[in-house]
């Protein structure tokens, strides 16, 4: 995998601008600032949902492997062999916030250029689905001083901070300037369709990892799946950090822009042998309808029905 350049130049905010568009290299850099959380013994009920940090034996027989998610059956197994605690890595604490002068909470009436703040709701619940403790910040800062104050207030309870802005990314500079005041930040432009600039780095005295995502909800969710989910899984000490993927037959032709990687929302067949791209990819409804992403490489601009593609499995949703 490629790496972000060792000595890139700072931009006008003092933020490092990486001439770097490779998705795999970006992920490598993110994982480098996210270490597995320290392990400790947790009571059985508290350990539920966390990650096992050591192999568990019943006598000489291995019964639970390190890196596995502690589910109800494992709690029962632990109790059956006389254990009332398990060595676990705790749930990472993830703070999610949005910033921008034109963002308003759902439930209010829009005026002028305002838009409903969507990303923090989407991302907070996505964080919980990965197995972390998620805190949604209810305020929406619209200037640097307010945003800095909100971020600094959250540092005491955060193992990771996620920030997003407005759909048009008008707030990206606001977020970048603010983060540059309190930490070491790198800005990256990624070659992903519908995506754009991201920031990442470490902030505050404890060097808490931070990542900023695009303002568009679809782009933000794709970035969450590609980058933030593996970060959280790494903090959990999970044995696998990526979604599973399968090779499947494409049921309908798709087009993709040249030079960028695309993630087409789709539905996977029950037997995982074929995948159907959803209509209206620009609509957020494709996120709630999708059970898979079709990963399209940068050099591919057209895929025909019947072609074999890589489908990243988001969930199994069968009645």
Q: Are 276 and 252 in contact (CB under 8 A)?
A: yes
| List of domains in the chain | 16-34+91-236 (3.40.980.10), 40-89 (3.90.105.10), 245-313 (2.40.340.10)
Rounded to whole angstroms, how far apart are CA atoms 228 and 219?
13
Q: Is residue 198's pLDDT more than 90?
A: yes
Q: What value does the mean pLDDT take over residues 178-195?
A: 91
pLDDT at 314: 92
Burial of 13 (0-12, 13-18, 19+ CB in 10 A): middle
pLDDT at 175: 93
- The SS3 call for residue 240 is coil
pLDDT at 150: 95
pLDDT at 316: 59
Q: What value does the mean pLDDT take over residues 227-254?
A: 94
pLDDT at 308: 97
Q: What value does the mean pLDDT take over residues 36-56?
A: 93
pLDDT at 249: 97
Q: Is residue 5's pLDDT more than 50?
A: no
Q: What value does the mean pLDDT take over residues 64-72?
A: 93
Q: What value does the mean pLDDT take over residues 206-234?
A: 95
Query: What's CA 121's distance to the chain center, in Å?
Result: 13
pLDDT at 17: 46
Q: Is residue 8's pLDDT more than 80?
A: no
Q: Is residue 9's pLDDT more than 60?
A: no
pLDDT at 70: 93
pLDDT at 226: 94
Rounded to whole angstroms, how far apart are CA atoms 261 and 255?
12
Q: Is residue 128's pLDDT more than 90?
A: yes
What DSSP string describes 178-196? Answer: HHHHHEEEEEEE--BTT--
Query: Over the stretch 241-295, which tens digit does the pLDDT of each residue have?
Result: 999 999 999 999 999 988 889 999 999 999 999 999 999 998 998 899 999 999 9
Q: Is residue 53's pLDDT more than 80?
A: yes
Rounded to whole angstroms, how far apart are CA atoms 133 and 125?
10
Q: Considering the chain, what is the average pLDDT of its residues? A: 89
pLDDT at 203: 97
Cα Rg of the chain (Å, integer) = 21
Rounded to whole angstroms, how far apart are CA atoms 70 and 86?
9
* CA distances (Å), origin 259, targets 21, 112, 115, 256, 262: 10, 36, 31, 9, 10
Q: Is residue 317's pLDDT more than 80?
A: no
pLDDT at 21: 61
Q: pLDDT tier at 14 (50, 70, 90 boundaries)?
A: very low
Q: Which segment of 3-17, 18-32, 67-81, 183-197 scores lowest on mean pLDDT?
A: 3-17
Pairing mode, strands 208-213 and 160-164: parallel
pLDDT at 169: 64
More confident residue, 53 or 195: 53
Of 160, 156, 120, nearest to 37 by C-alpha is 160
Q: pLDDT tier at 18 (50, 70, 90 boundaries)?
A: very low
């Amino acid at each position: 995998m490629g790496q972000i350049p060792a000595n890139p130049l700072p931009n006008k905010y003092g933020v490092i601008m990486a001439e770097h568009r490779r998705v795999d290299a970006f992920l490598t850099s993110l994982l480098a600032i996210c270490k597995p959380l320290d392990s400790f013994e947790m009571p059985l009920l508290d350990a539920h949902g966390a990650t096992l940090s050591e192999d568990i034996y019943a006598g000489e027989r291995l019964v639970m492997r390190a890196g596995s998610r502690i589910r109800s059956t494992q709690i029962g197994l632990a109790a059956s062999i006389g254990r009332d605690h398990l060595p676990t890595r705790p749930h990472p604490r993830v703070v999610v916030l949005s910033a921008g002068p034109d963002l308003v909470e759902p439930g209010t009436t829009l005026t002028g250029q305002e838009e409903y703040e969507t990303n923090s709701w989407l991302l907070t619940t996505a964080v919980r689905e990965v197995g972390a403790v998620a805190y949604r910040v209810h305020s929406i800062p619209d200037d640097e001083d307010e945003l800095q104050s909100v971020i600094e207030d959250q540092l005491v309870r955060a193992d990771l901070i996620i920030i997003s802005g407005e759909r048009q990314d008008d707030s990206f500079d606001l977020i970048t300037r603010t983060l540059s005041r309190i930490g070491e930040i790198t800005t990256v432009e990624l070659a992903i369709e519908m995506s754009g600039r991201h920031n990442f780095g470490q902030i505050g005295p404890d060097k808490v990892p931070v990542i900023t995502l695009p303002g568009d909800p679809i782009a933000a969710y794709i970035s969450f799946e590609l980058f933030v989910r593996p970060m959280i899984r790494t903090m959990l000490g999970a044995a696998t950090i990526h979604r599973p993927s399968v090779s499947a037959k494409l049921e309908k032709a798709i087009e993709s822009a040249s030079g960028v990687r695309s993630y087409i929302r789709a539905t996977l067949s029950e037997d995982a042998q074929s995948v159907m791209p959803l209509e209206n990819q620009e609509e957020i409804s494709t996120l709630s309808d999708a059970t898979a992403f079709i990963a399209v490489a940068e050099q591919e601009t057209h895929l025909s029905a019947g072609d074999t593609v890589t489908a990243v499995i988001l969930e199994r949703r069968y009645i």
